[in-house]
Structure 1
Amino acid sequence: MTYQTLISATDLAQALHGPEAARPLVLDCSFELADLSAGRRAHDAGHIPGARYVHLEDQLSAPRTGRNGRHPLPSREDFARTLAALGAGDDTQIVIYDNAGGMYAARLWWMLRWAGHAAAAVLDGGLPAWKAAGQPVSTDETPAAPAAGRFSLRPALVTTASYGEVRANLDTGARLVLDARAPDRFRGENETLDPIGGHIPGARNRLFRDNLDADGRFKSPAQLLGEFQALTGGRPPAELISQCGSGVTACHNLLALEIAGLRGAVLYPGSWSEWSAQPGAPIATGPQA
Structure 2
Amino acid sequence: MKTNSIINTNELYQISNQSNLRIFDVRTGPNAKEEYQKKHLKNAVFVDLNHHLAEIDDPKDGGRHPLPKFGYFIKTLGRLGIDKDSDVVIYDDKNGANAGARFWWMLKAAGHKKVRVLNGGLQFAESQDYPLASGDESYPETEYISEVHDWQLPQVWIDDVKGAAENPEYLIVDVRESQRYKGITEPIDLVAGHIPSAENFPFSDNLDENGLFKSPEILNEKYTEFFKNRDSNKIIFHCGSGVTACHSLLALDYAGFELPNLYVGSWSEWSRNFDVR
TM-score with structure 2 setting the length:
0.93
**Aligned amino acid, residue 220 of structure 1:** S
Report the equivalent of 1:56.
49
| Offset at residue 113 of structure 1 (A) | 1.2
**CA deviation map 1:55-81 (0-9, x unaligned):** 111111112213121111101111111
What is aligned with 1:111?
106
Structure 1 contact 211–224 (Cα < 8 Å) conserved: yes
In structure 1, the partner of 2:27 is: 30
Structure 1 partner of 2:13:
13
Q: 1:83 touches 1:151 (CA, 8 Å); kept in 2? A: no
Match of 1:257 in 2: 252
Distance in 1, matches of 2:171 and 2:275, equals 16
Is residue 82 of structure 2 the alignment partner of residue 88 of structure 1? yes
Which residue does 2:39 correspond to in 1? 46
Q: What CA deviation, in whole Å up to 9, does each residue of 1:15-52 have, x standing for no partner? A: 1123x2xx3111100112xx2xx221221121111111
Q: How does 1:1-289 map onto structure 2 within 5 Å?
A: 3-18=3-18, 20=19, 23-32=20-29, 35=30, 38-67=31-60, 68-103=62-97, 104-143=99-138, 145-154=139-148, 156-278=151-273, 281=274, 283=276
Q: CA deviation at 1:141?
A: 2.6
Q: Is the 8 A contact 2:242 2:264 kept in 1?
A: yes
3-state SS of 2:172 partner: strand
| DSSP-derived class of the 1:230 partner | helix
Q: Distance in 1 between matches of 2:2 and 2:36?
A: 26
For this pair of structures, how many residues does the alignment match? 274
Deviation of 1:206 after TM superposition, in Å, equals 1.1
Unmatched 5+ residue regions in structure 2? none
Aligned to 1:287: none
The CA RMSD measured in Å over matched residues stands at 1.8
The CA deviation at 1:4 is 4.1
- What TM-score do the two structures reach when normalised by structure 1? 0.89
> Per-residue deviation at 1:177?
0.7
Q: CA deviation at 1:174?
A: 3.2
**Alpha-carbon deviation of 1:96?**
0.5
Cα separation, 1, equivalents of 2:276 and 2:222: 26
Worse-matched range after superposition: 76-85 or 231-240: 231-240
Q: State the shift of 1:157 in Å.
A: 4.0
**Contact 2:164–2:172 (Cα < 8 Å) also in 1:** no
Q: Which amino acid aligns with 1:173?
A: P
| 1:233-278 alpha-carbon deviations (Å, 9 max, x no partner) | 2323332111000001100011111111111211000000001111
Q: Which amino acid aligns with 2:184?
A: E
Q: Unpaired segments of 5 or more residues in structure 1?
A: 285-289
The range that moved more, 232-241 or 85-94, is 232-241
Cα pair 1:81 1:151 within 8 Å, conserved: no
Write the distance in 2 (CA, Å) between the matches of 1:129 and 1:149.
Answer: 33
Q: 1:105 to 1:259 in 2, by over 3 A?
A: same
Q: Distance in 1 between matches of 2:130 and 2:57?
A: 39
